Chain A
Amino acid sequence: MIFKIDNVKKSYKNGEVTEEILKGVNLILREGELTSLVGASGSGKSTLLTIAAGLQPASDGQITFEGKNLTSLNAEQVRKIRAHQFGFVFQFAHLVPFLTVEEQLLLMLDVSESKLKKREQKKEVDKILKLVEMDHRKHAYPSSLSGGEKQRVAIARAIIHKPKVLFADEPTASLDSKRSKDVMTLISNLTKTLNIATLIVTHDEEMLSFADHIIKMSDGQILRKV
């Protein structure tokens, strides 16, 4: 067990009324395992994922990562953990428009305060780009990449600093079914080879074959574990 979500609740104030979006969620992520989160739109999947990733605070409950309770850390401490230990892939690639593919990854190494020397960093970038089969577009800017290519670069950026946990929110939503499969195969392989604990939200039934665990959410609660 590397990542544990304990009775996490989240409510938003909507004017006078308070809406409870997460009603006490429990979840465990393990190294080298891919956990898929499914459920109807609005059931709270993205909310759960972003809270787990430290992108927004929970209203109640505990999130334990390597023995530390994330909910009790301050913003700077959470940022550090995000930069060093977490990787993110979202529905859109969200690459930095004015950096080349190579520079996107170098930036991530920078942010995670990589101890590698400049030359070794470049080698590492080449290695990861080969892994996602994007090494031939190393010097391209995002505007000249296709949707699937961008997403593969985004995945490369999410793992280059060797995170312990990978969060992905519908990473295949903007891709066709062939590309979706490629991206899922990639994430699933990386989870195994780099021994990452991966949490992935998906709408696509086809993608569930890649999951070690499938967790279904409904109305802010976990329905069943498969």
Chain B
Amino acid sequence: MNIAWKEMKKSKAKFMILGSIVFLVSLLTFMISGLANGLSQESAGLIKDLPAGQFYMTKEANQTYSMSRIDHSIQHQILSKQKDATAFSIQMGFLNDRDGKQQSVAFVTATKSKQFINVEKGEIVLDKSMEDNGIKIGDALTNNQFKGKFVVKGFVKHSKYSHASVAYISMEDFKEIYGTAEMQLIFVPEGSPEPTSSSMESFSNHQFLNTISSYKSEQMSLNMIIWFLVVISGMLFAIFFYMMNVQKIGLYGILKAIGVKTSSLFKIMWTQMVFITVIALSIAIFLSQIFTRVAPKGMPFSLTTETTVQLSIVFLIIGFIGATLSGLQIKSVQPLQAIQQGEV
């Protein structure tokens, strides 16, 4: 007989409260992790969207790409061997629109490649968010260090760096603004043979992201919030099940006295825990997915199903551990205790 189910049916309110707490905490966790992911996309989407591979910068740069100046001959040597490789540079800067309003952007320039957008001299390709800011194709933009004008050729989706829109410009124009002809970085996608050069240091995608200190610290604090929430929800689980079990000590004693196995009592608790958690998580997943669809445009929010599934599994495991730990008292319940305590 399904005691677990019968109990939930009879004490709906109690289980509903537990369920709504699980729901609220998991929804909060999903939202925060959506924000964290969204922010990281704004912070380093340009890099994160690249395929897996290796990043190279000079050893002299000391793991700070903006200090890296790759020698022309070395760049030529690598790029001529690796067809898919590309050299690129990133610099933060400003663009002035028609009304003279300044907009912060991340200028990116790269050698011809599949990974980056390539533009001709005097042209510029911008992140889609700039279009939302009122800039149109054909507009002419200026920069204080640049004598000519940039003509907007088009927009690309989701290209952000350091919370600014990416602006792709040609290498000549980049050189005019920043005064350096050398590139900062070379990216070699996975599968190509890896170049060896004693003056260069290589990084995987993940390692490279961690050399960007603003990105690293931002993600660290957001991840800390997420894990904090996960831990709190685990504790909530344990405390709630503990309180429910304390209430039921007498009942457990009686059931044990008439011969119910301790393992059956644990099964009852696990069934209830899984049932409640799965329902609460499903609602939280559903709502957070809806939110992903209707989130305001400018809001950095990106929640992949992969992250949601991962977090859900963590919640299930944590709920299971919490319930089981609090349920250890079931093991020590003596049938006698309940009988001598009077009516349950």
Contacts and interface: CB of A to CB of B under 8 A. Distances in A.
B276 to A, nearest CB: 16
Interface residues of B, number: 26
A200 to B, nearest CB: 15
A146 B251 CA distance: 19
Contact of A55 (B3, B6, B11, B257): B257
Interface string B250-276: 110011111111000000000000000
Interface string B311-344: 0000000000000000000000011101110111
A103 interface: yes
A50 B338 CA distance: 12
Mostly, the B contact residues are: helix
B124 to A, nearest CB: 70
A84 B335 contact: no
Contacts of A80: 259
B10 interface: yes
Given A55-B336, A103-B6, A157-B258, A94 B1 contact: no
A83 B338 CA distance: 17
B172 interface: no
A63 interface: no
Which of the listed residues B10, B342, B343 has the most CB atoms from chain A within 10 Å of its own CB? B343
B259 A98 contact: no
B120 interface: no
B76 to A, nearest CB: 78
Given A92-B343, A98-B7, A112 B259 contact: yes
A21 B1 CA distance: 40
Interface in B287-316: none
A98 B342 CA distance: 18
A99 B5 CA distance: 11
Contacts of B338: 94
Contacts of B251: 96-97
A83 B7 contact: no
A164 to B, nearest CB: 14
Contact of B336 (A56, A93, A106): A56
B3 A107 contact: yes
A50 B254 CA distance: 13
Given A55-B335, A55-B336, A97 B10 contact: yes
Contacts, number: 65
A42 to B, nearest CB: 13
A111 B258 contact: yes
A97 B344 contact: yes
Which of the listed residues A56, A82, A86 has the most CB atoms from chain B within 10 Å of its own CB? A82
B333 to A, nearest CB: 12
A56 B334 CA distance: 8
Contact of B6 (A56, A94, A99, A111): A99
Contacts of A3: none
Contacts of B261: 79
A103 B336 contact: no
B323 to A, nearest CB: 19
A56 B257 CA distance: 10
B1 A83 contact: no
A93 B1 CA distance: 21
B257 to A, nearest CB: 6
A155 to B, nearest CB: 13
A94 B339 contact: yes
A80 B342 CA distance: 25
Contacts of B258: 82-83, 88, 108, 111, 157
Given A103-B1, A103-B6, A111 B336 contact: no
Interface string A97-120: 111000100111011100000000
A65 interface: no
A94 B259 contact: no
10 contacts: A50-B336, A55-B257, A92-B342, A94-B343, A96-B255, A98-B9, A103-B1, A103-B6, A111-B259, A169-B339
Interface of B: 1, 3, 6-7, 9-11, 250-251, 254-261, 334-336, 338-340, 342-344
